[in-house]
Amino acid sequence: MTEKALKTVTLGCKVNQYETELVREGLVTAGYRDASDDETADLCVVNTCTVTNEGDAKSRQVIRRLARDNPDSRIVVMGCYATRAPEELAALPNVVEVVENKREIPDLLGRFGVIDVPSGLSTFGDRHRAYVKVQDGCLLRCTFCIIPTVRPEMYSRPAEDIVSEVARLADNGFREIVLTGIHLGHFGVDLNKGKPKEEWVRLAHLVRQLAKLDGDFRVRMSSIEATEVTRELIDVMGEFPDRVCPHLHISMQSGSDAVLRRMRRRWGAQRFVDRCKLLKESLDQPAISTDIIVGFPGETDAEFEETCAVSREVGFSKIHIFPFSPRKGTPAAEMPDHIPGDVKSDRRRRLAEVETETREIYFRSLVGKRLAVLGEAAETDAAGRTIVRGTACRYAPVSFEAPASAVGNLTAVEVQTAESELLRAAAT
C-alpha cells in the first residue's frame, strides 16, 4: 500500500483538536502519513472555527495557503464554520468536501478508505496530554455566542467508550487527560431523558469511573459552568485528590448582574461567588480560572468595576480576558451602546492587573506545598543543570531541576518560591 501524505490544521477549541486527531488516526489506518514540513500533501484536512469573524477569516486564509503550497492536494474542510456556511468554503481552491455535521465523520473516513473507523483515540500526536471529547452540543443561548446555532444537538458519548479510551491513552503514555466538550457540564443530559433521577448519569459519575482506573495519569476538566459545580462533583474531586486535578475553569464572563442579564447568562454574580466558595471550602487550595469579556455592549465603568471586585473576591489563578467582539448572527452584535475600542483596551489592561494581583496571591499560598507536575520541556542552564518546565495539578507553571526523562511524566515537587508567573520547586 503506497502511503499518501497528509496535512491537518486545527483552529479553535479543544473539541476541534480532538476531532482532528480522530480523523487523522483513522486516515493513518487507510495508508496516510503525516507530511514533512517541506513536503507537499496529497490530502489536507482543515478544522475550522467560527466563534469570531476573525476565526472565519483565518480559516479561509489557511485553506488558500494550503492550496497554494500543495497545488495537487485535495482539501477537506470541517468544523463550525463548515456547518455555518458550507457554500463559502466549498468555493475555495482545492476544496473537495465540506463536512457540515461532525456526526458525518465516520462516513467521511469511509469515503477515504477507512474500513475500521476509530471510536476513540489511541494517541494525541507528539503531546504529553490528551484531550478526550465526552459530549457535543449546547442548549444555552448566550447573546454573544454563535456556537449553539452550529452545534445545537446535545450528544453524550457512552461512558464505556470514554473509559476505554482514557485507559488506552494512559497505557500509551499520556499522563494528563483533559475532558472536554462544547458544554462539558451537560454530559449525560441527553442520556437521562425519560429515566428516574436515581438512574441519571452526570459528569461526576463519569469522573468517578475514570478516577478508579489503574495507571499513572491524572484527569483535568476543561471549562464548566458555575451551576454545574455540584456537591457530587466536588466530592469526587476530594475523594481522588491525586487522580483528579484540584482545578476548575469556571466561565464567569462578567461580575455585573446587569451585564450578565444582557448576556443572557443563567445566574448572578453572587451565585457564582458562592459556588467558588463552596469549592474552596471543600478542597485543599483548588485553582480557579475563568473567562471574562470586557466591553460588552452597554458596560458602564461601574459594571466593569463590579467585575474587578468579584475577580478579587474569588481569587482567580488565571483569567482569560476577551475584549467584546461583535459576532454577526448573535443578539449582542445588534445591541446598542457598543464600547469604543480604546475603552475596551483600557479595561483589558486594568483587568490584567487584577489577574496579576490574584495570581500572585494564589501562587504565594502554594509555597511549601507538594504538587504533581507534568513535565513539558527541558533545557540546560548556565550551570549545566537540566531544568524542566511543566504544569502543576493546580494549573500553574513550574520549573524544577530533574533529569530530562521527567518530560512527559508526572513528578512530585515541593514549591520553594513563587514568582509573578512561575513557581520554582524541587523534586521530592
What does each C-alpha distance from 232 to 159, 229, 235 come to in angstroms?
A: 17, 8, 5
Three-class HEC string of 285-330? CCEEEEEEEECCCCCCHHHHHHHHHHHHHHCCCEEEEEECCCCCCC
Q: What pLDDT is attached to residue 139?
A: 87
Domain-located, residue 381: yes
Report the percentage of the chain scoring pLDDT > 70: 100
Tell me whether residue 328 is exposed, middle or buried, using C-beta atoms within 10 angstroms of its C-beta: 0 to 12, 13 to 18, 19 or more: exposed
d(CA 265, CA 225): 10
Domain-located, residue 118: no
Question: What would the pLDDT profile of 370-395 be if each residue is shown by its tens digit?
Answer: 999 999 999 999 999 999 999 999 99
Closest CA to 228 of 212, 244, 248: 248
What does each C-alpha distance from 50 to 3, 80, 275, 344 come to in angstroms?
A: 33, 6, 31, 22
309 lies in the same domain as 225: yes
Across the range 34-52, mean pLDDT stands at: 95
68 lies in the same domain as 160: no
State which of 365, 398, 414 marks the end of a domain. Answer: 365
Across the range 39-63, mean pLDDT stands at: 96
Question: What would the pLDDT profile of 132-149 be if each residue is shown by its tens digit?
Answer: 999 999 989 999 999 999
What does each C-alpha distance from 402 to 210, 262, 290, 314, 419 come to in angstroms?
A: 29, 50, 31, 34, 20
d(CA 168, CA 121): 8
Question: What would the pLDDT profile of 268-315 be if each residue is shown by its tens digit?
Answer: 999 999 999 999 999 999 999 999 999 999 999 999 999 999 999 999
Question: What would the pLDDT profile of 244-261 be if each residue is shown by its tens digit?
Answer: 999 999 999 999 999 999
Across the range 205-211, mean pLDDT stands at: 98
382: Cα separation from own chain's centroid: 35
Q: 410 falls in which pLDDT band (50, 70, 90)?
A: very high
Domain-located, residue 121: no
CATH code where residue 185 lies: 3.80.30.20
State which of 348, 365, 382 marks the end of a domain. Answer: 365
163 lies in the same domain as 268: yes
Closest CA to 100 of 75, 124, 82: 82
CATH code where residue 374 lies: 2.40.50
Q: What pLDDT is attached to residue 112?
A: 92
d(CA 271, CA 286): 18
Give the angle 32-71-124 at the CA atoms, nearest 5°. 35
Asked whether residue 74 carries a pLDDT value surpassing 80, the answer given is: yes
414 lies in the same domain as 338: no
State which of 112, 145, 164 marks the end of a domain. Answer: 112
322 lies in the same domain as 403: no
Across the range 307-332, mean pLDDT stands at: 97
380 lies in the same domain as 334: no
319 lies in the same domain as 406: no
Domain-located, residue 94: yes
Domain-located, residue 398: yes
Mean pLDDT of the chain: 96
Domain containing residue 176: 129-365
d(CA 391, CA 413): 11
Is beta strand 370-380 parallel, antiparallel or unpaired with respect to 386-392?
antiparallel
Asked whether residue 323 carries a pLDDT value surpassing 80, the answer given is: yes
d(CA 426, CA 179): 29
d(CA 235, CA 258): 32
Query: Do 66 and 7 contact (CB within 8 A), yes or no?
Result: yes
Across the range 218-226, mean pLDDT stands at: 96
406 lies in the same domain as 392: yes
Give the number of other CB atoms < 10 A from CB of residue 339.
18
Domain-located, residue 120: no
Q: 16 falls in which pLDDT band (50, 70, 90)?
A: very high
161 lies in the same domain as 232: yes
d(CA 118, CA 27): 10
Domain count within the chain: 3
Asked whether residue 421 carries a pLDDT value surpassing 70, the answer given is: yes
Asked whether residue 1 carries a pLDDT value surpassing 80, the answer given is: no
d(CA 85, CA 63): 15
d(CA 203, CA 189): 9
138 lies in the same domain as 268: yes
What does each C-alpha distance from 15 to 19, 80, 215, 235, 306 come to in angstroms?
A: 6, 11, 24, 26, 32
Locate 6 and state its grid cell.
497528509
175 lies in the same domain as 250: yes
341 three-class SS? helix
Is beta strand 247-249 parallel, antiparallel or unpaired with respect to 410-418?
unpaired
Domain-located, residue 119: no
d(CA 142, CA 15): 19
96 lies in the same domain as 53: yes
Domain-located, residue 360: yes
